[in-house]
Amino acid sequence: MELSSTLFGIAAMAVFVLPIVYLQGMQKKKEKKLFAEFLQLTQEKGLKLTHSEVWNYVYCLGLDAQTKQLIHFKKKGETPEILLIDLKPFKKCAVNKVGRTVKTNDGPVTIIERLHLTLTPSNAQSKAQNIEFYNADESSSVTTELPLLAKWEKQITEALQA
């Protein structure tokens, strides 16, 4: 009786665990493919990344601190959106959260709709540049974006001051 219970428990656990392991493997494979495409693009642009990041299986961001070039790569579907930014004309980098407040029974709750870094130009006539980290229209929830924003704000600020 104990052997059959043990075997049933192992089988039941496998039914729940194996799909999760499979999905994680598929996501890692997708992330590696995205990052490989991103690295190929950066090499074509002549960039030597000192910092890089991949998140949500959609976004890549890289910084060439020596040339002060930042590249943002977003691949939703087949065609990637590529944003190459020369950091030299900018003086400041700041986190920008766009959200709305909703009233609930427990009080007001802020719903984050977009997260991005905003680069402020040195010249007042120039336009600020936004680097998207999260968009509620395309993703269901904020997961790793807030710590990434803080990390990249620091890295970009250091590159601007160098």
Task: Specify the pLDDT at position 61.
Answer: 94
Q: What is the pLDDT of residues 26-78, one digit of tens each?
A: 667 777 887 888 888 888 888 999 999 998 888 999 999 899 999 999 988 78
DSSP string, 59-113: EEEEEETTTTEEEEEEESSSSEEEEEEE-TTEEEEEEEEEEEEEEETTEEEEEEE
Residue 90 pLDDT greater than 90, yes or no: yes
